[in-house]
Structure 1
Amino acid sequence: MRFGVEEEFLVVDAETRSVTARAGDVVRAAGGRLGARVAGEITEHQVEGRTDPCDSAGELAGQLAEGRAAIAAAAAGLGLRIIASGTPVLGDAVPAPVTRGERQDRGNATFRGLHAELSLCALHVHVEIPDRDTAVLVSNHLRPYLPVLLALAANSPYWDGRDTGYASWRSLFWARWPVAGAPPYFTSAAHYDELVAMLVEAEALVDAGTIFWDVRPSAHLPTLEVRGADVPMTAAESAAMAALVRGLVASLLPLVESGDPGPVVEPEMMRVAYWKAARDGMAGAGVDVLTGATLPARDLAARLLDAALPGLEEHGDLARVTGWLTTLAEDGDGAARQRAAEAKNGLLTDVVDHLVEQTAQNGTFN
C-alpha cells in the first residue's frame, strides 16, 4: 500500500523572524533540485513540499528530510528561513497575501474575509486506495480517530505574536469554513459525489478541489487523503504520522471488506472532541466520541495505536510509530515544545529559531 505526503511551511525573514511574502522566490530557488516536489500554496507565505508515492516509511522519511533540507537551503540563500508550524509566530499575517489567479479570485469572492487568515500549514497524507467506494467507506471508520490525530500533531499555539491558549489554533480557523473538519457519514462514492454537487450548487465551494474535510477521496489521485493535522515540527514526526495513518487505513480495510459500514458518530460529539483536541493537544484530556467519556489524550492515543496495530505490523512500522509516541509522552507535542522555547527567555524570536532548527533536523524514531 503506497503512500505519500504534502507538507506546508511558512517563510520567515532571517533577521526579524517575521513571516514574509516571498514563497514564490523560495519555490523557484528550490525547484532546480526538487522539481515538482516543491510548489507554492494559496498564499505567498507558504511553501509546499511533496513526496513521490513511497512503498516504505523509510523511503518516505528520506524524501521528507531531503525536501526540507533543499527548501531550507534555498530559503537561506535568499536571506530567509522556513518553519514547520501550523500558524505564524511573528509578523503581519493578516490579510494573507493570496496568490493571483482565476481560481483564487473566485475564492476571494466566495469566502471573503476567510481568505484573509489563510497563512496556515497542515500535513496531508495520501494512502493509495484506487476504489473510491472503498475510500469513502474507510473514511467512515476513520472519523472517530480524527480528533486524536489532531491532538498528536498539535503544533500551532501562537498567532499574531501572542499565545492563543490553544495547542492547535490552525484547526480553529478551519472550523469556520462551510465545508471543513470531519466529513459527513457516507454510504457510497455516489452519495459523496451527490453531496459535493449540492455543495457546489449552493456556492459553498469554488470547486470539488476546495473540499476541506479532514478525510476525503483525492480529487486528482487514486488515494484517500487525510488532511486534518498541523504540519509537524520535524520530518521524523511527519513520517511517523504518515505511517500511523497508513497503518490505520490498512487495519480498517478488512472491516469495509466484511460489509461493516462504520460507526455513526453524533456531529456534536465530533465538534466537542475536535475542540478539546485543539485546545489541549496531548497535554490534556480528550473525548471518546462514541461514548462521550472524557479520557486522557494519551489513553485515546493508545486506543488509536491498538486500532492501527495490524496495519503497522504488516508494513513494518510499529517501532517507528511507538518510538514517536514515546517521544511525545516525554517531550510534549509541538505546541508544548514551542512554548518551552519561549519560556527559556520569554522571547518569541527564540520560538522561531527553535522551529527553524527543528524543521531542517534529520532524525528517526526507530
Structure 2
Amino acid sequence: MNVLSMGVEEEFMLVDRVTRAPVNRAPRVIERASGDLGEQLQSEFFNAQTEICTRATSCRTALRDELAWMRAVVAAAARSEHCVPVACGTPVLPPEEQLTVTNTERYRRMARRYAPLVTRDDGTTRDEGLVCGCHVHIGTFDREQALALAQHMRPWLPVLQALAGNSPFAQRRDTGYESWRAVEHARWPTVGPTPVLDEPQYVAHVARLVEDGTLLDNRMVYWHARPSEHVPTLEVRVADANADLDTVVLLAVLVRGLAFTLLPRVAARVPVPRTPCPDLLQAHRLAAAQGLRGLGLDPVDGRERPAATLVDALIDFARPALDTTDDTDWVCAQWDRIRTDGGGAARQRAVLRRSGQFTAVVDDLAAATVRG
C-alpha cells in the first residue's frame, strides 16, 4: 500500500509581548513573513489570528521540521510587531482592544451573515469567537473516497479530540472544560459529526444549505471530518491548536494511521458503522469537557471507558499502519509522555497552580509555541 501524505494547518493567536492580550496585528505580521512563507501563511477570521499551512509529506520528521521552521518565521515577524504567536484553542486573557474582522470580501460577508456569532447588540465584537484549531489533511482522495473515509472515522474522532484538548481557560477564567474551543466553535452552522451521505447526496445537501442561507458557500462545511474543497484531501478538524509541537505531529500521525487502517474498508465498500448521532455528540461532549482525565465512549461498543484507555485502543487499532510507516515506537513514546505529564489543558492548569498568574500561562504557551 502507498504511504499516505500528511499536512497540517495551524492557527495561532497573536498576543502583545507586554500585556499578553490578543492584538490585531496579523496583517503586519503576515506582510513581514510573506517573503519566506508566501501563501503558506494566511489570514484568519480575526486580525488577531494567523494560520500556517504545511506542504504535504509522507515523512513524520519532515512534517515536524517544517512546522518548527514556519513557527520560527512567524515568531520572528511577530517580534518585530511587539507580539508573539500562541498556539492555544482560546485566549487565556481577554483582548484589551476590540477585535476586528480581517478585511477580505469573504470574511466581511461572513461577519454580516452571521452577525449574532460575531458582534454583540451594541456592535462590539464578541471576543468569545476568537478560537484557534489545528486541522490535519491526509492523502490524495477524490470527494467520494474522502467522504466515505470521513464516515468510517467518525467513532474515533472524539478520542483524537480528547488527546488534543488545549483550551481550559477563556478570558481569565477556568471554564472547567479541557476544550472550551469546542464549545465556542460549535456555535457555527454544520459543526459536528460527518453525516452519512453518498457523494450525490453530499452535493445536493451542501447545495441546499447554501441556497437556503445556512452556509455562505461550500467551504463553510465545518464537519469534524470533511472532503476538503480547496485541496484533494480528507480534512480532520477536531483538534485545538497545541503549543507542544510533538502533540501536533502525533495527531497527524494518528489521523494518518487511522485513515490507512480504514481505507481497505472503504475500498471494499464495507457499510459505515451506524453509530447513533446522539452517541457521537455525547462522545464529543465528553471529549471537550473531560479530555484525557475523564471518560469517553468506546468507538466499537459505545460503552463508557477511561479516555486514556481509548487512546490505547486507537493506537492498537492503527498499529499495522503505524508499523508500516515506522511510527509505532515514536507514537508510543509520545503517548507515554502525555499520559505521564498531561495534555495541553493539564499543563496550562499546572502553570496556573504554580504561578497563580494567567500571564504566566500565556508566557508558557508562547515559549512552547516558539520552542518547537
Q: Same fold (TM over 0.5)?
A: yes
Q: TM-score, normalised by structure 2?
A: 0.94
> Of the candidates 125, 142, 146, which is equivalent to residue 131 of structure 1?
142
Residues 88-103 of structure 1 correspond to what in structure 2 (within 5 A)?
Answer: 88-92=91-95, 96-103=99-106
Q: Which residue of 2 aligns with 1:119?
A: 130
Deviation at 1:24, TM superposition (A): 1.2
Q: Which residue of 2 aligns with 1:80?
A: 83
Tell me if structure 1 keeps the 8 A contact 2:94–2:170. no
Q: Which residue of 1 aligns with 2:69?
A: 66
Q: Which residue of 1 aligns with 2:366?
A: 356
Deviation at 1:93, TM superposition (A): 7.8
> Of the candidates 43, 47, 50, which is equivalent to residue 46 of structure 2?
43
**1:357 is matched by which residue type in structure 2?**
A
Q: Which residue of 1 aligns with 2:321?
A: 311
Distance 1:203 1:145, change over 3 A: same
1:17-72 deviation digits (Å, cap 9, x = unpaired): 11111111111111122222211111111110111111211111110000111111
Deviation at 1:245, TM superposition (A): 0.5
> Of the candidates 175, 178, 185, which is equivalent to residue 174 of structure 1?
185
1:199-251 deviation digits (Å, cap 9, x = unpaired): 11221100001111110001011100011110122222211110111111011
Alpha-carbon distance between aligned partners in 2 of 1:306 and 1:145, rounded to the nearest angstrom: 12
Is 1:195 matched up with 2:205?
yes
Q: Which residue of 1 aligns with 2:226?
A: 216
Alpha-carbon distance between aligned partners in 2 of 1:213 and 1:261, rounded to the nearest angstrom: 20
Alpha-carbon distance between aligned partners in 2 of 1:250 and 1:233, rounded to the nearest angstrom: 27
Residues 1-366 of structure 1 correspond to what in structure 2 (within 5 A)?
Answer: 1-92=4-95, 96-115=99-118, 116=126, 117-186=128-197, 188-288=198-298, 291-362=301-372
Deviation at 1:295, TM superposition (A): 0.6
Alpha-carbon distance between aligned partners in 1 of 2:14 and 2:63, rounded to the nearest angstrom: 23
Distance 1:21 1:181, change over 3 A: same
Tell me if structure 2 keeps the 8 A contact 1:174–1:180. yes
- Partner SS for 1:212: coil
Alpha-carbon distance between aligned partners in 1 of 2:309 and 2:268, rounded to the nearest angstrom: 28
Alpha-carbon distance between aligned partners in 1 of 2:274 and 2:96, rounded to the nearest angstrom: 38
**1:270 is matched by which residue type in structure 2?**
L
Alpha-carbon distance between aligned partners in 1 of 2:16 and 2:147, rounded to the nearest angstrom: 42
Q: Which residue of 1 aligns with 2:121?
A: none
**1:123 is matched by which residue type in structure 2?**
C
Tell me if structure 2 keeps the 8 A contact 1:86–1:120. yes
Distance 1:346 1:157, change over 3 A: same
Distance 1:207 1:95, change over 3 A: farther
Tell me if structure 1 keeps the 8 A contact 2:94–2:171. yes
Tell me if structure 2 keeps the 8 A contact 1:93–1:160. no
- Partner SS for 1:125: strand
Equivalent pairs, count: 361
1:116-168 deviation digits (Å, cap 9, x = unpaired): 34311111111123222111111111100111111000000111111111000
Q: CA RMSD in A?
A: 1.5
Alpha-carbon distance between aligned partners in 2 of 1:267 and 1:93, rounded to the nearest angstrom: 40
**1:148 is matched by which residue type in structure 2?**
V
Q: TM-score, normalised by structure 1?
A: 0.95
Tell me if structure 1 keeps the 8 A contact 2:23–2:99. no
Distance 1:319 1:103, change over 3 A: same
Aligned-residue sequence identity (percent) comes to 40
Unpaired segments ≥5 residues, structure 2: 119-125
- Partner SS for 2:371: coil
Alpha-carbon distance between aligned partners in 2 of 1:106 and 1:212, rounded to the nearest angstrom: 17
Q: More deviation in 228-237 or 139-148?
A: 228-237
1:178-213 deviation digits (Å, cap 9, x = unpaired): 211211112x22221111111112211000011111
Distance 1:224 1:27, change over 3 A: same
Q: More deviation in 202-211 or 281-290?
A: 281-290
Alpha-carbon distance between aligned partners in 2 of 1:122 and 1:215, rounded to the nearest angstrom: 13
- Partner SS for 1:163: coil
Deviation at 1:291, TM superposition (A): 3.6
Tell me if structure 2 keeps the 8 A contact 1:137–1:261. no
Alpha-carbon distance between aligned partners in 1 of 2:311 and 2:97, rounded to the nearest angstrom: 34
Alpha-carbon distance between aligned partners in 1 of 2:320 and 2:142, rounded to the nearest angstrom: 21
